[in-house]
């Protein structure tokens, strides 16, 4: 691979996640979110397992250290099972554009965790970058606009104001979970390559979500909307781009380039979502929303500038 393979993988990840957020928003209007998350992790696990089997002839890396496997499993539990479930609720309550914007909080949160837990230093540009991200996100969130019309079972039972509040809370929770999950994933990949590492994370999330659905005992009714070809196509496409291509490339980028550079390029997702959401969802972002998004992404670039 070229010397810029990590950067290209990170940028492609941001684009994949932009398409995924819009497609899952569309599918989530017809299928319950827990079932949708189970489907995407299940399909992602199948795609990843087949790729790993074809590439290496095995489904599990040889001599994988148990501590690293546990770290990747924790990453899957926190980042994919819990974090992405929160993010899906954010998609339905406040839309993919605003949810993706809130997710730009991941790098500042990660930097703060590293500062508190690992003792990493934050200098003046770091603090300025964090201020730009927080300022951009808060500026857009504070804009008084009606929340997207309720279209999913999860969204329909709340008022527009409450949906917006809950959606922002879910997106912030997702950012926290993904920050912690990224740290565990980075540690796990010190001894395990990105592809099997992605499979370990995805299978862990699938098993946790399967257990959660078994407890509810509502599995048949949850998957009934898949009889629609459109919903099925949206789910398949989103599962291929997100948990398969996107998550795999995100770990490739973390493995092949500095974490700061990788996360900065992945944070381009809200920029990509603006034209995609406008075309597929009919969203019309205001100038303030676009300016706030650019401001937040600029803050991420400053915070995670190459050393």
Please say if the pLDDT value at position 90 is more than 60. Answer: yes
Q: What is the pLDDT of residues 126-153, one digit of tens each?
A: 778 778 877 888 788 777 655 444 445 5
Q: What is the pLDDT of residues 104-117, one digit of tens each?
A: 888 788 777 777 76
Instruction: Calculate the alpha carbon distances from 216 to 32, 84, 157, 210 in Å.
Output: 13, 19, 19, 10
Q: How many CA atoms lie within 13 A of 173 on its CB side?
A: 19
Torsion of CA 2, 269, 245, 29, to 10 degrees: -170
Q: At what angle do helices 66-75 and 194-216 cross, to 10 degrees?
A: 60
- Which pLDDT score, from 0 to 100, does residue 306 have? 61
DSSP 230: H
Measured CA to CA, the distance from residue 185 to residue 72 in angstroms comes to 5
- Which pLDDT score, from 0 to 100, does residue 297 have? 81
Q: Return the higher-pLDDT residue of 233 and 143.
A: 233
Q: How confident is the model at residue 1 (pLDDT cuts 50, 70, 90)?
A: very low
Among the ranges 52-56, 155-159, 165-169, 189-193, which has the highest mean pLDDT value? 165-169
pTM: 0.79
Domain boundaries defined on the chain: 5-303
Location of structure tokens 């279209």: 151
Measured CA to CA, the distance from residue 172 to residue 106 in angstroms comes to 9
Please say if the pLDDT value at position 118 is more than 70. Answer: no
Backbone phi, psi, residue 193, to 5°: -65, 160
SS3 (DSSP) at 147: coil
Measured CA to CA, the distance from residue 95 to residue 171 in angstroms comes to 10
Segment 276-287 shows an average pLDDT of 81
Instruction: Calculate the alpha carbon distances from 183 to 10, 68, 112, 234 in Å.
Output: 16, 12, 12, 30
Start-to-end C-alpha separation, the chain: 23
Q: Is 95 left (phi over 0), alpha (psi -120 to 50) or beta?
A: left
- Which pLDDT score, from 0 to 100, does residue 33 have? 80
Segment 219-233 shows an average pLDDT of 74
Q: Return the higher-pLDDT residue of 15 and 186.
A: 15
């Amino acid at each position: 691979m070229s010397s810029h393979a990590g950067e290209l993988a990170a940028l492609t990840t941001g684009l994949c996640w932009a398409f995924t957020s819009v497609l899952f928003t569309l599918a989530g209007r017809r299928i319950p979110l827990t079932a949708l998350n189970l489907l995407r992790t299940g399909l992602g696990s199948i795609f990843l397992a087949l790729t790993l089997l074809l590439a290496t002839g095995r489904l599990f890396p040889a001599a994988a250290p148990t501590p690293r496997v546990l770290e990747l499993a924790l990453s899957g539990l926190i980042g994919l099972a819990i974090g992405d479930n929160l993010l899906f609720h954010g998609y339905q309550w406040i839309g993919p554009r605003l949810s993706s914007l809130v997710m730009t909080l991941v790098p500042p949160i990660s930097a703060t965790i590293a500062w508190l837990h690992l003792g990493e230093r934050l200098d003046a540009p770091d603090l300025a970058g964090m201020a730009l991200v927080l300022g951009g996100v808060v500026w857009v969130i504070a804009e008084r606009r009606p929340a997207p019309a309720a279209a999913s079972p999860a969204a329909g039972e709340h008022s527009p104001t409450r949906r917006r509040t809950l959606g922002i809370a879910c997106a912030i929770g997702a950012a926290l979970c993904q920050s912690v999950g990224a740290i565990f994933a980075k540690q796990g990949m010190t001894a395990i390559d990105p592809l099997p590492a992605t499979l370990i994370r995805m299978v862990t999330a699938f098993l946790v979500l399967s257990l959660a659905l078994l407890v509810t005992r509502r599995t048949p009714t949850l998957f009934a909307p898949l009889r629609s070809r459109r919903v099925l196509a949206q789910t398949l496409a989103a599962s291929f781009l997100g948990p398969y291509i996107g998550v795999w490339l995100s770990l490739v980028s973390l493995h092949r380039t500095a974490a700061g550079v990788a996360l900065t390029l992945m944070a381009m997702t809200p920029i990509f979502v603006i034209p995609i959401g406008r075309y597929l969802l009919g969203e019309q972002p205001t100038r303030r929303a676009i300016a706030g998004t650019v401001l937040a992404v600029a803050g991420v670039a400053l915070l995670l500038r190459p050393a």
